[in-house]
Amino acid sequence: MLGSVLLLAVVTVNGIQHGRGVLVLLTSEVVPRLSPASPAGSMEDMPRNPETDLDTDLDTDLDTATARLGEEDVTPDTPAVRTAPAGARPTTAAIWRDRPDLDRANRMSAGCAIGHLGIELTEIGAHHLIGRMPVDRRTRQPFGILHGGATVLLAETLVSCAATFVAAPGTACVGMEINANHLRPVTSGWVTGTAQPVSLGRRSQVWEVRVVDDDDRLVCISRCTMAVIEGR
């Protein structure tokens, strides 16, 4: 803090008074009071940082939790078993509208591409349809292995028949889209396809077909979408 004081001095010389002013500057400084020197200590005696303490606590908690997991047998909770309401249709019920007649379906297919390639429906379950196709001169390509197009024809045949067996009376099913991934070559014997539904809607159906060889090795996997239209 800085201040000033004006001092007025009166001096008499030869009977005449003379005034002299003196400007004095005053300063004020705040000098901190120092506490008596404390004895020197180590780093451990200094106050600890709360954040540092938090990190140490976290490490300790993690070590404790890890040790506890190693000692305890952790078993996931078992979900409660859901029961169907009274009168509900069992989920294992067949998806077919009526009991499909595979012999009749095979007879109807004898005079077209399906019969020409030797495709035949062999088995039907509650949720799947199975058919097979020979690997011979009719279904091989020039390099002596099963033609991918013939495999796709097998897949779409199974889906078309299965979709028709599911569709409501007065409707018909036509193919909208099909794709196939060919995974293994086959040179002889038979390939067997199994069609199972992915989605059964009122206007469309989606099916998946898995094709295997005689050793049950996956040859092709296909997915087909069918449109459900009014019957003609």
Residues 31, 63: Cα–Cα separation, whole Å? 51
Q: Could you list the active site residues? A: 156
